[in-house]
Structure 1
Amino acid sequence: MNYKILMVDDDRELLKMLNQYFTLKNYTVMIAENGIEAMEKISANPDIILLDVNMPGMDGIEVCRRIRDMVSIFLTAKVEEQDRVMGLLSGGDDYVLKPFSLKELDARIIAHLKREERLHRKKEQRFYGELVIDYASKCVHIKGNALELTKLEYEIIEFLSMNPEMVFDKERIYEKIGGYDAEGDSRVVTELIRRIRKKMKMYSEHEYIATVWGRGYKWAK
């Protein structure tokens, strides 16, 4: 399959290098030098987006907030934990620090694309009382109300619900939703689960994601 990849960065030399590499890898490559230009090219429905965090005008974080349904990998020289947490909570799927290995970046991209393909092949729906999870459309409803979830929020629900009553620590959860060679980030998982619970509580008092103190979280039927 010929995947479409949108690369967004204000570093023209980096874009040139990435364009040459991924074109040779048989990707259809689209390029944008800022967030505004990226938003104009979203209509082409790229399969994955590489986003620089620091760009003039509309930065990568803001672009990601507006395109939550697409797979996004941040490319950045920032190394602060808070920056990484903010990027992932904004809807990003992965975080790659500059300078990076092209082979590693390629491996991360492939891992995310293959995971998306597996998710699209799922046709099953599961019912937990007043809650319904549609794994094909990646939607969650409670009493007929659709929850507005980010990609990572949905993926936590999917992972836990497909392994009911099994306890997973924060690092294991992050590894499962973070893609290739993901390092566990407990702050991200804690915040995502807090947000999920808040959204669920708008329609139900049932606690679907239970805390198992000292061990992690589980899906409670």
Structure 2
Amino acid sequence: MNNKNRILIVEDEDYIRKFIKINLERENFEVIEASSGEEALEKIRKINLDVAVLDVMLPGIDGFQVCKTLREKDDKTGIIMLTARGQDIDKINGLKSGADDYLVKPFNPLELILRIKAILRRMEKTKDISEIINYGIFKLDGYSKKIFKNNSEIEMTPTEYSIMELFINNPGKAFSRDDILNNVWGYDFVGDAKIVDVNIRRIRTKIEDDPAAPVYIETVWGVGYRFKKI
């Protein structure tokens, strides 16, 4: 039985893709390669993944579309976008498309490995929690890693689920962006704290009746966010 975590690398530059593959295989990951968005979508249809590493700039179908399609197929797969230096809009668009994290090129392969492992830890952490937590109209099922509102399931990415888990376990507590990064991402995040804001906006579109006037996830001005205490 193959117990290796399966990682998809989507990168059109052969030398970059091969370099990433070599480093990931040294960490005992099973690596699947794709050199285009079209090839990636074909492989996504056929195999299950743990994490996908997607270059934004691909010929034909770009990384954003691959990300959206993968999210539609499986909201549990971890997704890391590779963006160009200085292209902040790519980071935001990648997160809006459903990515969990991003990494700016050029990057150290060790940093990519650390981020992949951080996503896998979040996934494993939630698997280890089997209890069901009821909080008002929300229910968190730690065994299936699902969130329910009024008994209807809300589709969540691994990162979104971890943020909701943090909030529901600490209602009324104000968390700074750094607090959320440390608790959810699980490592010293090097990048823009907007990654927290984008994930909060995504969650609000899923759990709030009116995301423009949020009731459950409150903004604490000058601090960060808190989950409404019922």
Instruction: State the TM-score bracket (shorter-chain normalisation).
Output: 0.7 to 0.9
SS of equivalent to 2:155: coil
Query: How far apart are the structure 2 equivalents of 1:179 and 1:72?
Result: 16
Summarize the alignment of residues 64-143 of structure 1 with structure 2, pairs less than 5 Å apart: 64-68=67-71, 69=75, 70-143=77-150
Please tell me whether the aligned partners of residues 122 and 162 of structure 2 are also in contact (alpha carbons under 8 angstroms).
Answer: no
Query: How far apart are the structure 1 equivalents of 2:59 and 2:153?
Result: 35
Report the equivalent of 2:43.
Answer: 41
With over 3 angstroms needed to count, the CA separation of the structure-2 counterparts of 1:206 and 1:15, relative to structure 1, is closer
Query: How far apart are the structure 2 equivalents of 1:19 and 1:186?
Result: 28
Structure 1 unaligned blocks of 5 or more: none
* Greater CA drift, 186-195 or 122-131: 186-195
Q: Which amino acid aligns with 2:123?
A: E
Aligned length: 220
CA RMSD of aligned residues (A): 2.4
- Asked whether 1:167 is paired with 2:174, we answer yes
Query: How far apart are the structure 2 equivalents of 1:15 and 1:45?
Result: 20
Quick one: which of 198, 221, 230 aligns to 1:213?
221
Report the equivalent of 1:54.
Answer: 57
With over 3 angstroms needed to count, the CA separation of the structure-2 counterparts of 1:184 and 1:209, relative to structure 1, is farther
Shift of 1:141: 1.6
Query: How far apart are the structure 2 equivalents of 1:188 and 1:87?
Result: 10
Shift of 1:208: 2.5
Please tell me whether the aligned partners of residues 10 and 37 of structure 2 are also in contact (alpha carbons under 8 angstroms).
Answer: yes
Shift of 1:76: 2.5
Query: How far apart are the structure 2 equivalents of 1:4 and 1:197?
Result: 30
SS of equivalent to 2:9: strand
With over 3 angstroms needed to count, the CA separation of the structure-2 counterparts of 1:206 and 1:116, relative to structure 1, is same
Query: How far apart are the structure 2 equivalents of 1:4 and 1:188?
Result: 25
SS of equivalent to 2:175: coil
Shift of 1:95: 1.1
Summarize the alignment of residues 135-154 of structure 1 with structure 2, pairs less than 5 Å apart: 135-154=142-161
Scaled by the length of structure 2, the TM-score of the pair is 0.84
Please tell me whether the aligned partners of residues 9 and 34 of structure 1 are also in contact (alpha carbons under 8 angstroms).
Answer: yes
Please tell me whether the aligned partners of residues 56 and 90 of structure 2 are also in contact (alpha carbons under 8 angstroms).
Answer: no
SS of equivalent to 2:38: helix
Report the equivalent of 2:13.
Answer: 11
Shift of 1:195: 4.0
Query: How far apart are the structure 2 equivalents of 1:167 and 1:184?
Result: 22
- Asked whether 1:63 is paired with 2:70, we answer no
With over 3 angstroms needed to count, the CA separation of the structure-2 counterparts of 1:61 and 1:105, relative to structure 1, is same
